[in-house]
Amino acid sequence: AQTVTQSQPEMSVQEAETVTLSCTYDTSESDYYLFWYKQPPSRQMILVIRQEAYKQQNATENRFSVNFQKAAKSFSLKISDSQLGDAAMYFCAYNIKGAQKLVFGQGTRLTINP
Amino acid sequence: DAGVIQSPRHEVTEMGQEVTLRCKPISGHDYLFWYRQTMMRGLELLIYFNNNVPIDDSGMPEDRFSAKMPNASFSTLKIQPSEPRDSAVYFCASRTRYTGELFFGEGSRLTVL
């Protein structure tokens, strides 16, 4: 079964500091997408960053970057210079290319301390 | 584009009543998904459509749930009769055939008393 595991139910960080959220997944496929979604209190799911498995280079979007370790099936999210607006639930997700289902982890609640 | 549009944002109803949730996907998207989110179970895929055709409804909890997509710009999720355990946030999402990225609506929070 395809699974996504986020081992940290909650994390907190001081404003302006850096925080890393962990995600591991289980698949026998070699070609797939990985995503991090943010869900603020407004509850809409917003895409933060995506990674294609065939690309070795880690994706980066402004203050957000990933550490993609394909052999280890690990896909962590690093948030640099944390801001109060980063406070949210963060979901790691994955889907196989050609398949339609997006498999989500259970989420990590991130708190930013001023 | 306005994004995925869901209505209502909030629905409070009594057990036994029929509930209809609505979704307008992003124009040009080929796939539409209905998810349910609860604290206990997280995000669960209920059903998805490809070009208005239901492809996989294995996540629909029971016969009380039904979903339709009469055209490319509209889908409904219906619960009849509703039960308190159906209380959750229901998300609609859409995507193109070219990428795996899902675009979500703002969700419909359902409370069944």
Express each pLDDT in A75-94 by its tens digit: 999 999 999 999 999 999 99
Nearest of A98, A68, A22 to residue B98 by alpha carbon = A98
> How far A97 CA sits from the closest chain B CA (Å)?
7
Mean pLDDT throughout A3-32? 94
CB contact under 8 Å between A102 and B33, yes or no, is yes
DSSP of A27-54, one letter per residue?
A: -S-SSEEEEEEEE-TT---EEEEEEETT
Mean pLDDT throughout A56-82? 95
| Amino acid making up residue B103 | F
- Whole-number pLDDT of residue B99: 76
Please tell me which residue of chain B has the smallest CA distance to A49. Answer: B101
For residue A58, what are the β-bridge partners? none
Question: pLDDT, tens digit, for every residue of A32-57?
Answer: 899 999 999 888 899 999 999 988 89
Question: pLDDT, tens digit, for every residue of B2-53?
Answer: 799 999 999 999 999 999 999 999 999 999 999 999 988 889 999 999 999 9
CB contact under 8 Å between B101 and A35, yes or no, is yes
Q: Is B3 exposed, middle or buried (0-12, 13-18, 19+ CB in 10 A)?
A: middle
Whether B78 contacts A80, CB under 8 Å: no
Residue A1 has pLDDT above 80, yes or no: no
Residue B77 has pLDDT above 90, yes or no: yes
- Whole-number pLDDT of residue B62: 85
Please report which confidence band the pLDDT of residue A109 belongs to, taking 50, 70 and 90 as the band edges.
Answer: very high
Report the C-alpha gap between B6 and B13 in whole angstroms: 18
Mean pLDDT throughout A56-67? 94
Question: DSSP state, A57?
Answer: S
Mean pLDDT throughout B82-94? 96
Task: Among B45, B91, B103, select the one facing A101 at the smallest CB separation.
Answer: B45
Task: Specify the higher pLDDT residue, A100 or A57.
Answer: A57
Chain A positions contacting chain B at CB under 8 Å are 32-33, 35, 37, 42-47, 50, 91, 95, 97, 100-102, 104-107
- Give the number of other CB atoms < 10 A from CB of residue B34: 25
- Whole-number pLDDT of residue B1: 61
Regarding beta strands A60-61 and B5-7, do their DSSP bridges make them parallel or antiparallel, or are they unpaired? unpaired
DSSP of A58-91, one letter per residue?
A: PPEETTEEEEEETTTTEEEEEE-S--GGG-EEEE
